[in-house]
Amino acid sequence: MHWLQIDVSNLAGKPGSTRKLTSSGPVEGFRSGLGWIEDGDSVHIDLLLRSAGDGVEATGEAWGRLHLSCSRCLVEYEQDFRLSLDEKFYVESDLAEENEGYEVRDQVIDLEPMLRDVIVLDIPIRPVHAEDCRGLCPECGADLNVSDCSHAEQAVDVRWAPLQSLMALQSGGDEEEVEN
């Protein structure tokens, strides 16, 4: 059995029963957009499993290391994570679906889908390796954190072009009326 598949036969259907679970191991194939966990890296969990009337509650923490790609300059960097967990695994699949929880199957809970869900939700939408990251030049692709290129100074937002031409007409002293 995989390290994240836990036999709960001593908990399911036995209200008040608890079990402490501390473990670690790899979460293979975890890759999403700008964040991932290397295949050999361990994720650690420290959980209290508690029998509930209609399933098993899992509360505790998970921690490890995420590898991220900066959304501005694409440089790869690492960031530790520590997440609180409070999820429920339902004995009946209908309840699991209805309550957006997870399912107990054959007296076993699989913590991997839950772990993947909470880690993915913790990945920043736009990860940035440093707040002052200047990103890449949109013209030549140069990393503006490493060197300046003349493109960055010339960059003009085309959405402002009509306004800039209007301003140029007014500063040139033309009395000509501009049509829209």
Q: What is the pLDDT of residues 17-34, one digit of tens each?
A: 999 999 999 998 888 877
Rounded CA-CA distance 137/153 in Å is 10
Q: What is the pLDDT of residues 102-132, one digit of tens each?
A: 999 999 999 999 999 999 999 999 999 999 9
Which of 51, 49, 50 shows the shortest CA–CA distance to 14? 51
Read off the pTM: 0.76
Counting residues of the chain whose pLDDT is more than 90, the rounded percentage is 59
Counting residues of the chain whose pLDDT is more than 70, the rounded percentage is 91
Angle at 46 between CA 107 and CA 27, to 5 degrees: 75
